[in-house]
Structure 1
Amino acid sequence: MTALAAATRPTRRDVLRHPLRSLAAIILIMIPVTLAAIGVVYNGSQSSSFFLSSPRTSATYVGGVCEQSIDGYLSDCAGEPATGATEYELLRANIPEGFTIDLTLTGTTGATFGERSVVLYFTQTTDSMAPAPGEAFIPQRFLDSLDAEVGDTITLDHGTEVTVAGITPSGTAVFREPTVISPEAFSVTDPVTGSGDYWGSWSITGPEAFTWDDVLALNAVGFTVTSRDVIDNPPPADQVTFEGDITPSRSVFWGVVESALWFIPVAIIGFLLLMLISPVFTISVSRQTRTFALLASQGATPRHIRWSVLMYGLFAGLVGATLGVGIGTVGTAAWWSATYPAWPVVVDWLWLLAAWVLAVAGSTAAAFLPAFIVGRSSIIRGVHGGGIDRILRWRRWMAIGPVFLVMLGLMFLVLRLTEDPARAYTTDVYVPWREALGGFGILFAVIAVVASAPAMVWAVGQLKGPLPLRLAARDLLRQSMRSIPAVAALAGVIFVATGLMVASHAESERMTVAAGTVYPAGTVFLGMDNGVAGDLDPAITRVESQLGDVRRIDVYGHSDMTGWMEVEGSTNPHSGARDWVSAVGDSLGATAVLASPELLDLFQIRGADLGGRAILTSSLEEQIPDARLRVRSYDNRGSEPREVVATAVETRPVLPPLSSDRLITEEAFEELGLERTYLGAVLVSGDAISPEDAGELNAYFLDTAGVSLSFPVWPTDHIRDNLVGSAGITALVIAVMALVLALSSQQTRRQQIILEAVGAEPAVSRWSNALFGALCTIGAALLGLVTGHGAALLSASLAEVNQTGVTTSFGTLQFTGPLWPMILGTLVIAPLVAGVIGWVFTPRLDLAEYRE
């Protein structure tokens, strides 16, 4: 132990003598831990407003007679709901004596304050966190829409008035029972005078455990039950008659692999954070080369020296993680208490402990590589001041990263070329090994880019030219513990950012071009929740004030949130073999859309036949003279969809190729017998909608009751997004290089003394240090930009053209191009700024002081 204490003394002494250098490592660790602590406290506290109560036993009414699985997640009910009774009465008559029931009601209701009104999502409950009767907790965004404040009284539907007692952090208002409706009045067949806006679940509590016999008693009158008591004490298998359709689970191995895929983004972020921290430790080690060599000459073993370096990482991790957890937790708790005084601060200490442990372990791991290198260093060379990290010639291990990158590139190329988009939505398409290779391949690609940093440093180090350039290139190789960690960290960040931004831009362009083949420029969808056409006029006026004159096309059909339409024998309009373009019916929340001359004019279709029983489909589909049109629906009475109505129709493929709409003629609609409702309107301005106009319209309609706004493709300002993202990455590159150059002042001073002692001009040292920073930045940028663009190209999809020459899928490859803002920022601006920083950070020397 005495030897270990002696070996770690230089590191501990360096920490105390140079606290600002240690502060850099501490801050780099503290920042992500602080963000993690903020997220843990905020999410935990917000969850208390989402899940107000978690009863051990809950029941939901379906109707008829039900059978269910033990946990209640699967069920099947036959028969019609009872009439003339409420759910409350049925429950009271069929639960054991001594048990009590409470209703948790959710849904939407209108709220009015002054001249303004909104539609509130609400929860009515008896939970202890609920406000007093006659009061309400309202989300802030709804109060802003109503121009109301805490203490004001708002009016709900049916004339109920409530006083705003506080703000809820969730998006759902909270009332205490019976603000909206009393449990006794909650009707089985017609909740609140026929309104379908409410859904209720009953919590059951009692003096003893709920049993399987109690569950069966409620099943007999139409309830399905989920009870923790029954799950913990399940009945014998012969007492469970329900046989649900349960999808066979995958093997344990693939289950573990699939779970691991979810953590890949976290692993990538954590790995890049470690790389950004590592320059602090590597530079600290290279600064103490002679000290470690002297320790080794006095009998310290490589293990003792490694512990000396690891102690630095452990110290930085302990201090940084502790400060991060403390600042993040205390700060968030104080902000939460001030913002939401009615809601408790919930701290998940287990997750905070996990974040703290990971930060300490990660900081120590970041110091492992320099610790390993210093443990293998030469004593004689170190005593004479020689670097332990000199790259004198090409080593075979430097090829590991580039070779690994090439292998991964070939793997992704094979995966892309063997992909079958036509089967992307069939039941047998899921191939676990393809998903696993793609997911883990992304993580390994980041590691391979980082592992390619030594090769890039060696390549840049071969530059020849004037003396300052040769000196800077030599320093890249002879002080690789300064250059390689910086290049590796920055190249990894640039690689990930470039790949994501290029791919995102290409995908957005593909969707925009595909939508342009179906809809005219400036198309807007306005959906109706209440079906009252007159309520749409103010909304259209608002759109016209933003976009100018628009052409209005009213749309009619049938709307059912649980239903959908199928055409037997027809192809899937959302097939992976063709681009998806949002349908009019999907945008307006319709089950079926009536064909009209106005809609055909929207699609620029001339002379189409709207007579007879027919359905208009994409021109990519075949004409079927005797197809079967079905309207199907899911409900909570069983796991299989039920057929609502069906009729024989003729399919007419006349719509644009990429249209996923299916328009029904009047005669076919009447044959189905569906209720005809007003769905909304399609507005066409004729000019492309700018992101600014789209943002202002969305902000207006977000809180407008009864009207919803959507676009075929959301307008995006790619230029702005690319500039902002590239500026952020460029700033990060500059900050890391400034940190590296600032922490390298001792090595810079030593080299400057030597150069000026042999007669070099003072400017040579400044130019050399400036070029060192610029070359590191250029090396990182080249490695990250080339691999990032390569990754985007390998992930891009190819265009698909059918036999008639119609493009069915545009693919993203043709829209994948250079990310010029990132290239300019990281390959031009960042090196120039890093060079200026290197020039400024070069110390001024008075050689007379050193000679004395």
Structure 2
Amino acid sequence: MTGRGWRAALRIARREALRAKGRSLLIVLMVALPVFGASAADVTYRSQQLDTGERLARQIGRADARLTEPVSDLPIAQDPVDDGRFVLRGNLGPAAQQQPRTDVRSVLPPGAAVLTDTVARTTIRTGFGLAGADWREFDYDAPIAHGIAVPTGGRAPRTADEVAVTDRLLRAGGLTIGGTLTEYNTGRVFRIVGTVKLPDRLDARQVFALPAAGVLDAMAGQGRPTERKFLVDAPDGAYTWDRVRALNDRGIVVLSRAVAEHPPPDDEVPYLREGGADFRAFSDMQIAVGVVVVGMALLEVVLLVGPAFAVGARRRRRDFGLVAVVGGDRRHIRTIVLADGAVLGGVAGVLGTGLGLAAAWSARGWFSSFSGKELGHFDVRPLELAGIAALGMAIGLVSAAIPAVLASRESVASSLTGRRGVRRGSRVLPVAGALLGAAGVAVAYYGAKVAADDTVLLTGCVVAELGVIACCPALLGLAARCGRVLPLTPRLALRDAARNRPRTAPAVAAVMAALAGATSVTAYWASTDHDARADYRAAARQGQVLATNGYENGRGLRQAADILAASLPVTGPGLVRGYSDVCAPNSGCLTVSLRLPAELRCPLDDLSGPGAIEAVRTARTDPRCQAENRSSVFGLPVGDAETVRRITGSTGPEIADALRTGVVVFDRRYVKDGMVTVAVRTLTPQDPASPTTVSAAEPLPAEPAPRLVAIPARYVAPAEDIPALAVLGEEAARAIGVPPGDIGILFDTVSMPSEADEQRARAQLDGVVTGVYFDVERGYQGRPSTQLLLLAAATVVVALGAAGVATGLALADGRRDLATLGAVGAPPRVRRALSAAQSWVIALLGTVLGLAVGLLPAAALRWRTAKTAADAFDMSGDGAFGISRPDVPLVVPWAEMGLALLVVPLLAAVVAAVCTRTRVTVGTRAG
């Protein structure tokens, strides 16, 4: 068509958009949604991609270079722009560690100014008690350091007894500006004069003091590890890439401003040749996932907007018929409909881009706090935003393409009379869709289990989903046939949906695509969460307070139990008696432990001596060495039924009966013929199996002769991870012949202790009891639920939007049917009930299909993970050391899926009912 014809079509499209404002606004908003998201994401992503100047300001301030004190003189190879990534080019063995390290100050250029930055992990006394923090002696207020730490309140330290703290530490520790802070190791008290934030680590807990404070020098004198870096203000050309490589040969890591601003080519970077990881490029998996996510999002929008154009074209059939009467052909009608897409898509592109810019600006603070890293400057790239805005016009043209072709094929008589005629659904499309879906499943399985190719895997998932979309019209017809048993209103809604499949099927497919994506991610998260939960080993039952005293052999445990009982919300007796390794200088260690029967005992358990290597080789195929062994935090406790209840939560008269004469065991393998074997032995310091830590202050009393004691046993299955393998009764302890001692503390809690409670308890223990370390078992925490909530909200919004659009189109398209209902006396509430039923039907069908289809990508990704884990297991040979083959199941989130199946259609129906007008205008019917 000529340019003049396109100008006329665009004028017609503009006038039609102004005449049908409601439908035009609906289309503009739907097309603007992906443009809005893409533009906001583009600006936010570019803003968090710091330019070289911003990145260097946060790392080295205004300095020319930052040199890190080496751990040895071994040469290294580093990344040119990231001094945190480097590889050793030698063997860091004991001999290398004993070599004198290069003094960084000795290799500085003449006339250079230096500022030291030293940091170490320490303990501080907070407003609640004791807490861990990073102690950093660094003058962040010096001109050379501006940009590394940003002041947020108060002022910078000026004397050796003043400090500043990060905002996160100030809140977590109950500290205040003007208050005091005590460094635990030196006991020195400092005054807090200001707060700061680290732009790259907003959640950091750090204390800033001047180098003159000398706390870290005292810690280094005690042998505590510290990390020291040097900011250098040097003459121009002092730190070229050649100079950096020369310092790398002496073990010094350098971040040079000149090198970061002008990086060397890859062939001059030994780091890449030495096997260093290149994090600058996206992986194939990231690219494939990004393409699939963006493609499916655009497909959802096209599926929603296309029916809107189809309804608009159908309402203008008489206009198209008049165009044909005056000499217009199919090409002109197609152009008019495509012009609708161009006009509305262009408006949506401009509107979505503007809203995206506003959202990106207003959400900068939220995104920074959520990601823990401040964004850089507001980075707007006009060419990228112009391309995103053009995407809106492209969506409009693609969405209007099929309605344009269908409108051009209408006969002149049908267009002028308004008769639709009867159309039969395609019989080829559902067959092709079923074949396409089966092929997609096969391709996904091949990419996951055979080829191990992520791109092939995701391609198969997309092909399968497209196959199901092709089957949607046929599934609508099948659902309409099954609707005979439904009441009148949902039956009418089902029949209307089946009769108008070109309008309803895309909406169902859009809801399906939204729910499929959410189901895939939720199922995959549930499966990985299952893996992490299975790997987690709790020290005690959830909510319990556990304390051990491994360095003092029970000394002070009674006093520590009293302190914990007074400072934490605990209940019941806390002290645990029993046996654990007791070591003494020049005397060895006394051990009392359970012993597996000979037929279950791995030969490696008794491994020592010159035949060790050969024993390892023979044990690799021994099934006894592949069984999983649980560790015991408490060693071998001695107690009564209450002790068993505290450890396992199990109660019952059989437990008390078993403890009168024997032992209760929580691992069935140790029990043979109703008996368990307890081994008593003394390990000398030269014994390879002897513990390396000697902790008792005096030699052991009388050393009993090594022996095995058989004791009657009863097996009790534990419900969860527990801190012991068994509990001995008092009679069994007397049979062993070694008196039990205090070995730990185990309290039940009334409520979960807070972080402030823990800090107070540590402060109460400090200075009173040494060597007691307690922890609160909070159970498996998993990942934060914020992502799941955001995903659920996005899913509901998209699904409701799709159902609402389809319902609005159905009401607009079925206005004549509603007029007929009003003419025959139907009450106004029928319109509301019918719209709610139509929305419910669309959302329900889309939700059912989405939940079923969404499991395929999750299953394929789990197949891929299982194959990778199995291959790694076979190559490592870990099975010879008691490690079982990894289990990688697909966890189906039935609860979440059931909730979606109930909530999404119900919400769609409620929203449609509330937003529908009940007044019906009765008019004439054409034809």
Q: 1:308 to 1:176 in 2, by over 3 A?
A: same
Return the match for 1:308 from 340, 348, 354: 340
Q: Which residue pairs with 1:607 in the alignment?
A: 677
Contact 1:745 1:842 in 2 (8 A): no
Query: Which has the higher mean CA deviation after the structures are superposed, 723-732 or 370-379?
Result: 723-732
Q: Which residue pairs with 1:36 in the alignment?
A: 41
Residues in 1 aligned to 2:901 and 2:271: alpha-carbon distance in whole angstroms: 61
Deviation of the 1:60 alpha carbon: 2.5
Residues in 2 aligned to 1:783 and 1:275: alpha-carbon distance in whole angstroms: 16
Q: 1:117 to 1:470 in 2, by over 3 A?
A: closer
Q: Which residue pairs with 2:497 in the alignment?
A: 476
Contact 1:107 1:197 in 2 (8 A): yes
- Residue 851 of structure 2 is aligned to residue 846 of structure 1: no
Contact 2:840 2:906 in 1 (8 A): yes
Counterpart residue identity of residue 435, structure 2: V
Q: Which residue pairs with 2:175 in the alignment?
A: 148
Q: 1:44 to 1:116 in 2, by over 3 A?
A: farther
1:125-524, aligned counterparts within 5 Å?
126=140, 127-129=145-147, 130=149, 131=151, 132-134=156-158, 138-150=165-177, 152-156=179-183, 158=186, 159=188, 161-168=190-197, 170-173=202-205, 178-179=210-211, 192-194=220-222, 196-209=224-237, 210-211=239-240, 214-215=243-244, 218=247, 223-225=252-254, 227=256, 229=258, 246-247=274-275, 259-275=283-299, 277-278=301-302, 281-289=305-313, 290-291=315-316, 294=319, 297=324, 298=328, 300=332, 302-303=334-335, 305-330=337-362, 332=364, 346-350=376-380, 354=384, 356=385, 359-379=388-408, 380-381=410-411, 383-384=415-416, 392-413=424-445, 433-442=452-461, 449-450=468-469, 452-463=471-482, 465=484, 471-502=492-523, 504-505=525-526, 508=529, 521-522=541-542
1:38-187, aligned counterparts within 5 Å?
40=45, 43=48, 51=59, 53=61, 57-62=65-70, 65-69=73-77, 71=79, 73-76=86-89, 90-114=103-127, 116-121=129-134, 123=136, 124=138, 126=140, 127-129=145-147, 130=149, 131=151, 132-134=156-158, 138-150=165-177, 152-156=179-183, 158=186, 159=188, 161-168=190-197, 170-173=202-205, 178-179=210-211
Counterpart residue identity of residue 288, structure 1: G
Residues in 2 aligned to 1:785 and 1:527: alpha-carbon distance in whole angstroms: 46
Residues in 1 aligned to 2:222 and 2:126: alpha-carbon distance in whole angstroms: 25
Counterpart residue identity of residue 37, structure 2: P
Q: 1:105 to 1:445 in 2, by over 3 A?
A: farther
Residues in 1 aligned to 2:822 and 2:303: alpha-carbon distance in whole angstroms: 28
Contact 2:39 2:357 in 1 (8 A): yes
Residues in 2 aligned to 1:726 and 1:370: alpha-carbon distance in whole angstroms: 27
Residues in 1 aligned to 2:536 and 2:368: alpha-carbon distance in whole angstroms: 44
Contact 1:377 1:388 in 2 (8 A): no
Q: What TM-score do the two structures reach when normalised by structure 1?
A: 0.67
Q: Which residue pairs with 1:752 in the alignment?
A: 818
Query: Which has the higher mean CA deviation after the structures are superposed, 832-841 or 735-744?
Result: 832-841
Q: Which residue pairs with 2:799 in the alignment?
A: 733
SS in 1 for 2:74: strand
Residues in 2 aligned to 1:763 and 1:580: alpha-carbon distance in whole angstroms: 66
Q: 1:56 to 1:276 in 2, by over 3 A?
A: farther
Counterpart residue identity of residue 459, structure 1: L
Residues in 1 aligned to 2:259 and 2:782: alpha-carbon distance in whole angstroms: 51
Counterpart residue identity of residue 837, structure 1: A
Residues in 1 aligned to 2:196 and 2:690: alpha-carbon distance in whole angstroms: 49
SS in 2 for 1:288: helix
Q: 1:281 to 1:787 in 2, by over 3 A?
A: closer
Residues in 1 aligned to 2:55 and 2:264: alpha-carbon distance in whole angstroms: 30
Task: Flag the structure with larger Rg.
Answer: 2
SS in 2 for 1:165: strand
Contact 1:63 1:222 in 2 (8 A): yes
SS in 1 for 2:236: coil
Deviation of the 1:779 alpha carbon: 1.2
SS in 1 for 2:66: strand
Residues in 2 aligned to 1:352 and 1:140: alpha-carbon distance in whole angstroms: 36
Counterpart residue identity of residue 402, structure 2: I
Contact 1:113 1:148 in 2 (8 A): yes
- Provide Cα deviations, 1:511-562, integer angstroms capped at 9, x if missing partner: 667879x98754868699998987975895499726765675998899xxxx
SS in 2 for 1:312: helix
Deviation of the 1:491 alpha carbon: 1.1
- 5+ residue gaps, structure 1, are 420-431, 559-565, 586-593, 616-625, 632-655, 664-679
Residues in 2 aligned to 1:755 and 1:740: alpha-carbon distance in whole angstroms: 21
- What percentage of residue pairs aligned between the two structures are identical? 16
SS in 1 for 2:515: helix
* RMSD value, Cα: 6.2
Residues in 2 aligned to 1:162 and 1:352: alpha-carbon distance in whole angstroms: 50
Counterpart residue identity of residue 377, structure 2: V
Deviation of the 1:753 alpha carbon: 2.8
Deviation of the 1:781 alpha carbon: 1.7
- Provide Cα deviations, 1:289-332, integer angstroms capped at 9, x if missing partner: 14477466346263553243133123212202211212330463
Return the match for 1:21 from 9, 23, 26: 26
- Provide Cα deviations, 1:805-829, integer angstroms capped at 9, x if missing partner: x99569465x855714533542577
